């Protein structure tokens, strides 16, 4: 029996979080942000002085990590070993850490197992970079969102400014381009659309329109 999972993949800044959270809310599904998981591992590794290339140390870190999501009145919170890291993992640095640890097979192995257990437990909208290709290749609906680097950098800077952490847009664009290259060229589960995914360019398409398109497909395929 196929899991009731809507897989939403794409690079940073393509609108995955906005679209996925709205979809989950509309459908009454669980929302899982897998990118946050890699950001947590990267952030904790950085804080504990663990090399992003040390497989054994990263394995130990993942096995001992208590990673949880809590839905509160003000939104989704991410907790690592009991500490709320929701704000810290959204920094540009945390995104860079995530990209570096995500190329390590042991990190992907541990987190993919956790993601599958979440998606199998209840109907889920799951966002990430390899959900439709590696985590849930049998998902009944797969979406791949994309947007221009400049637009994604603009969105990222706007998000950071809202959090009181302004950034230079040119530098953010450079970081995004570098991360795209790392994510698409990595040996394990590279960033790419699943063959049967609906690809949507969100550069000029409002989130409401994207959500409406995906909802129509979900209803057509009798996923809700």
Element (H, E) at 8: strand 5-9
Per-residue pLDDT of 138-150, as tens digits, reads: 999 999 999 999 9
Report whether pLDDT(151) > 70. Answer: yes
DSSP state at residue 197: P
Per-residue pLDDT of 39-98, as tens digits, reads: 999 999 999 999 999 999 999 999 999 998 888 888 889 999 999 999 999 887 898 899
CA neighbor of 140 nearest in space, from 87, 40, 218: 218
pLDDT of residue 91: 86
Per-residue pLDDT of 4-52, as tens digits, reads: 999 999 998 999 999 999 999 999 999 999 999 999 999 999 999 999 9
State how far the Cα of 80 lies from the Cα of 37, in Å rounded to an integer. Answer: 9
Does CATH place domain 5-220 in 3.40.50.300?
yes
Beta bridge partners of 78: 69
State how far the Cα of 3 lies from the Cα of 28, in Å rounded to an integer. Answer: 15
State how far the Cα of 105 lies from the Cα of 118, in Å rounded to an integer. Answer: 20
Beta bridge partners of 127: 8, 33
Tokens standing for 88? Answer: 């810290």
pLDDT of residue 1: 67
Q: What are the angstrom distances between the C-alpha of 201 and each of 31, 34, 151, 179, 209?
A: 22, 21, 11, 19, 11
Per-residue pLDDT of 185-196, as tens digits, reads: 887 778 899 999
pTM of the model: 0.88
State how far the Cα of 40 lies from the Cα of 89, in Å rounded to an integer. Answer: 6
The helix/strand/coil state of 65 is: coil
Determine the distance from the C-alpha atom of residue 67 to the mean position of all C-alpha atoms in its chain, rounded to a whole number. Answer: 15
């Amino acid at each position: 029996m196929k899991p009731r999972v809507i897989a939403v993949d794409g690079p940073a800044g393509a609108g995955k979080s906005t679209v996925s959270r709205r979809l989950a809310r509309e459908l009454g599904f669980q929302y899982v942000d897998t990118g946050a998981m890699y950001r947590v591992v990267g952030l904790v590794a950085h804080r504990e002085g663990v090399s992003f290339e040390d497989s054994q140390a990263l394995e130990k870190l993942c096995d001992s990590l208590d990673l949880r999501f809590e839905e509160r009145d003000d939104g989704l919170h991410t907790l690592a070993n009991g500490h709320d890291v929701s704000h810290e993992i959204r920094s540009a640095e945390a995104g860079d850490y995530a990209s570096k640890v995500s190329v390590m097979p042991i990190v992907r192995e541990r987190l993919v197992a956790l993601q599958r257990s979440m998606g199998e437990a209840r109907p889920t909208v799951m966002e990430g970079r390899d959900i439709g290709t590696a985590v849930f290749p049998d998902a009944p609906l797969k979406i791949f969102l994309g947007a221009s680097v400049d637009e994604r950098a603009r969105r990222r800077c706007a998000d950071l400014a809202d959090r009181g952490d302004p950034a230079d847009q040119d530098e953010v664009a450079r970081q995004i381009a570098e991360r795209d290259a790392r994510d698409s060229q990595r040996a394990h589960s590279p960033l790419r659309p699943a063959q049967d995914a609906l690809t949507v360019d969100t550069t000029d398409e409002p989130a409401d329109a994207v959500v409406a398109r995906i909802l129509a497909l979900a209803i057509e395929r009798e996923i809700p």
